[in-house]
Amino acid sequence: LPAQTDRLADGAEQVAAGNRRVAGYGSKAAAASTQLKRRIAADRAGLLSTLKAQGLTDAQLAVVESRLDVVDGHVDSADATIQSASGDLTRLSRGADQVAVGARALANAAPALTEGVAQAHSGAVRVRDGAATLATGLDRLDVGGDRLVSGAASAATGADSLAKGAGSLASGLDSLTKGATDLHAGLVKGRDAVPDPTDAQRKAMAQTIGNPVGVATDSLSSAGSYGAGLAPLFMSLALWIGAYVLFLFVRPLSQRALATSQRSFRTALGGWLAPAAVGIVQAAALVLVVGRGVDIRIAHPVLAFLFLCFTSMTFVAILHALASRFGAVGKFLGLVFMVVQLVSAGGTFPWQTLPAPLQAVHHVVPMSYAVDGLRRLLYGADLSPVLGAVGVLTAYLVGALLVSTVAARRSRIWTPKRIRPELAL
């Protein structure tokens, strides 16, 4: 038993030494836990200051602080566990020392304490097993502390990301607020721009939309009927056709007069006077047919008759000049000239509605002035433009007689081709 007691004392001392070493590890773990707790607290204060400097609102800081409080709670719980385990290890080490002292005392008093030594040995074995279990737990606690430190670092990184996201959120909220303000201002402006007319204004707008253009009729005179409206054109056309037909049967220049020594103007005038007299008869017949047969009221019958006679004389002079100068070709040109005047004189529709080229022709051809003069004489409108029409027709008359005079002079020159039968030279 004394030998066993000595071995027990030695084992107790070894256990005490191991417990002291384990208690030292526990103290180091407690110190590391305390340092980690302080570091987390310092990092938390720095993180909150950084987030606040970046422009986070108090509400956003409160959210971050609440998340950090959760992390601090876990850290505090782990630290409390470590501190408690360190205290237990310290107390265990002290108890092991006391056991070693007691074991040594027991070894000294082995004979009397054999049974107590056996019991102490059994207790020492249990203490040894508990110490091994405690060491394993401390190793696990050390690994958990490392994980805790890594988790705290991840939490700090997440807090940084959260701070950046909160900054982006704040910027987006500012843009959203500005856009909502602009939208509100635009809607208010659009609402104010929407008209709110009264009943009278609605009726006026409806009247304007339904009848946007007011038509004011201002007529210089009235023809009375559609046929009377077309009468000036067809009367002028009849005078032209009558003059044209005359030169299908009458020579424009007398061959006998050309063979004499009289002046060319007298020859041309003589060739024009006889057809002109027939044209005057045609004008008289035309007035009788229009006034009596068709029953178209003539406002100025005498002036209309004189104007028709002068127009007929002018048309005869024009066709006489064409036939004298160009012969059969001139008669064809007279027919073409009639067609051109028919479409450009403005007898059926206002000449302002004609195409631009025909409007230019309208101001040149004599039938335009004949139609306009007859309208005013038949319907009783202002007669002052009639003098202008007479002036233009006079210019055509004089010009045609001059052309006929030149043609008569040229016709006095006899060539072998004009002699019938032809001379063989």
Q: 3-state SS of 26-59?
A: HHHHHHHHHHHHHHHHHHHHHHHHHHHHCCCCHH
Amino acid at site 274 = A
Which is higher by pLDDT, 253 or 333? 333
Same domain, 383 and 238: yes
Whether residue 274 lies inside any domain: the answer is yes
What distances in angstroms separate CA 51 from CA 67, 69, 88, 168, one per listed residue? 14, 16, 41, 12
Domain final residue, candidates 87, 106, 139 = 139
pLDDT value at 413 more than 70: no
Whether residue 191 lies inside any domain: the answer is no
As a whole number, mean pLDDT of residues 238-254 equals: 85
Same domain, 135 and 284: no
Whether residue 175 lies inside any domain: the answer is no
As a whole number, mean pLDDT of residues 311-316 equals: 94
Domain final residue, candidates 139, 170, 185 = 139
- The reported pLDDT for the residue numbered 55 is 81
pLDDT band for 74, please (50, 70, 90 cuts): confident
Rounded Cα gap, residues 191 and 185, in angstroms: 10
As a whole number, mean pLDDT of residues 345-349 equals: 73
pLDDT band for 284, please (50, 70, 90 cuts): very high
pLDDT value at 216 more than 60: no
- Alpha-helical (H) ranges within 211-263 are 226-249, 255-259
pLDDT value at 421 more than 60: no
Rounded Cα gap, residues 415 and 53, in angstroms: 121
As a whole number, mean pLDDT of residues 353-369 equals: 85
Amino acid at site 61 = L
Rounded Cα gap, residues 380 and 376, in angstroms: 5
Which is higher by pLDDT, 92 or 391? 391
pLDDT value at 35 more than 70: yes
Whether residue 299 lies inside any domain: the answer is yes
Same domain, 110 and 252: no
End-to-end CA distance of the chain: 190
Return the closest-CA partner of residue 127 out of 23, 19, 29: 19
- The reported pLDDT for the residue numbered 314 is 94
Whether residue 183 lies inside any domain: the answer is no
- The reported pLDDT for the residue numbered 313 is 94
Residue range(s) defining the domain that contains residue 358: 226-415
As a whole number, mean pLDDT of residues 274-279 equals: 91
Same domain, 128 and 250: no
Same domain, 231 and 131: no
pLDDT value at 425 more than 50: no
Q: What is the DSSP code (8-state) at residue 293?
A: I
pLDDT value at 164 more than 70: yes
Same domain, 132 and 233: no
pLDDT band for 310, please (50, 70, 90 cuts): very high
pLDDT > 90: what percent of the chain? 13
Which is higher by pLDDT, 307 or 214? 307
As a whole number, mean pLDDT of residues 299-303 equals: 85
As a whole number, mean pLDDT of residues 291-316 equals: 86
- The reported pLDDT for the residue numbered 412 is 66
pLDDT value at 19 more than 90: no
Residue 238 and residue 286 in contact, taking contact as beta carbons nearer than 8 Å: yes
Amino acid at site 199 = D
pLDDT value at 311 more than 90: yes
Rounded Cα gap, residues 86 and 419, in angstroms: 159
Alpha carbon 22 to its chain centroid, in Å, reads 84
- The reported pLDDT for the residue numbered 105 is 75
Q: What mean pLDDT value characterizes the chain? A: 79
Count up the domains in the chain and report the number: 2
As a whole number, mean pLDDT of residues 358-369 equals: 87
